[in-house]
Amino acid sequence: MKAWESNIRRVVPYTPGEQPDKTKMIKLNTNENPYPPAPGVAGALRELAADRLRLYPDPTAGVLVDAIAAEMGLAPEQVFVGVGSDDVLAMCFLTFFNSGKPILFPDITYSFYDVWADVFRIPYETQPLNERFDIVPEDYYKENGGVIFPNPNAPTGVECPQEDIEDILRHNPDVIVIVDEAYVDFGARSALPLLEKYDNLIVVQTFSKSRSLAGMRIGYAMASPELIRYLNDVKYSFNSYTMDQTALAAGVASLADRQYFENTTRRIIATRERTKERLHALGFSFRDSRSNFIFATHKNCPAKELFAALRKQDIYVRYFDKPRIDNYLRITIGTDEEMDVFLDFLERYLADRKHNDCMTRN
Decide whether 271 or 292 has the Cβ nearer to ligand PMP: 292
Which member of 102, 219, 251, 334 binds ligand PMP (CB under 6 A)? 219
Q: How far apart are CA 326 and CA 323, in angstroms?
A: 6
Which member of 48, 136, 214, 309 binds ligand PMP (CB under 6 A)? 214
In 3D space, the residue among 42, 78, 48, 59 whose CA is nearest the CA of residue 243 turns out to be 59
Q: How far apart are CA 21 and CA 274, in angstroms?
A: 28
Q: Which residues contact 101 (CB under 8 A, 6 or more apart)?
A: 123, 143, 144, 145
Give the number of other CB atoms < 10 A from CB of residue 53. Answer: 12
Helices (H), the chain: 39-47, 62-72, 84-96, 113-119, 162-170, 225-235, 245-255, 258-281, 303-312, 336-361
Query: Any contact of residue 139 with ligand PMP (CB under 6 A)?
Result: no
Query: Any contact of residue 115 with ligand PMP (CB under 6 A)?
Result: no
Decide whether 260 or 295 has the Cβ nearer to ligand PMP: 295
Decide whether 113 or 198 has the Cβ nearer to ligand PMP: 113
- The residue sitting closest to ligand PMP, measured at its beta carbon, is 84
Q: Give 117's DSSP letter.
A: H
| Residue 220 identity | Y
Candidates 55-63, 81-89, 243-251, 349-357; binding stretch for ligand PMP (CB under 6 A): 81-89
Which member of 29, 78, 85, 332 binds ligand PMP (CB under 6 A)? 85
Q: How far apart are CA 204 and CA 85, in angstroms?
A: 7
Decide whether 110 or 342 has the Cβ nearer to ligand PMP: 110
Which member of 150, 157, 187, 334 binds ligand PMP (CB under 6 A)? 150
Query: Any contact of residue 159 with ligand PMP (CB under 6 A)?
Result: no
> What is the contact mask toward ligand PMP in residues 245 to 274, using x (rule: CB under 6 A)?
------------------------------
**Omega of the bond prior to 106 within 30 degrees of 0, cis?**
no
Q: Which residues contact 305 (CB under 8 A, 6 or more apart)?
A: none
Query: Any contact of residue 206 with ligand PMP (CB under 6 A)?
Result: yes
Decide whether 29 or 85 has the Cβ nearer to ligand PMP: 85
In 3D space, the residue among 344, 349, 325, 335 whose CA is nearest the CA of residue 28 turns out to be 335
Q: How far apart are CA 191 and CA 187, in angstroms?
A: 13
Candidates 65-73, 84-92, 156-164, 337-345; binding stretch for ligand PMP (CB under 6 A): 84-92
Decide whether 215 or 302 has the Cβ nearer to ligand PMP: 215
Decide whether 110 or 284 has the Cβ nearer to ligand PMP: 110
Q: How far apart are CA 85 and CA 70, in angstroms?
A: 19
Q: How far apart are CA 37 and CA 23, in angstroms?
A: 20
* Contacting ligand PMP within 26-45 (CB under 6 A): none
* Contacting ligand PMP within 165-204 (CB under 6 A): 180, 182
Query: Any contact of residue 208 with ligand PMP (CB under 6 A)?
Result: yes
Candidates 160-168, 206-214, 262-270, 332-340; binding stretch for ligand PMP (CB under 6 A): 206-214
- Least distance in angstroms from the C-beta of 206 to ligand PMP: 3
Q: Which chain residues interact with ligand PMP by CB under 6 A?
A: 84-86, 110, 150, 154, 180, 182, 206, 208, 214, 219
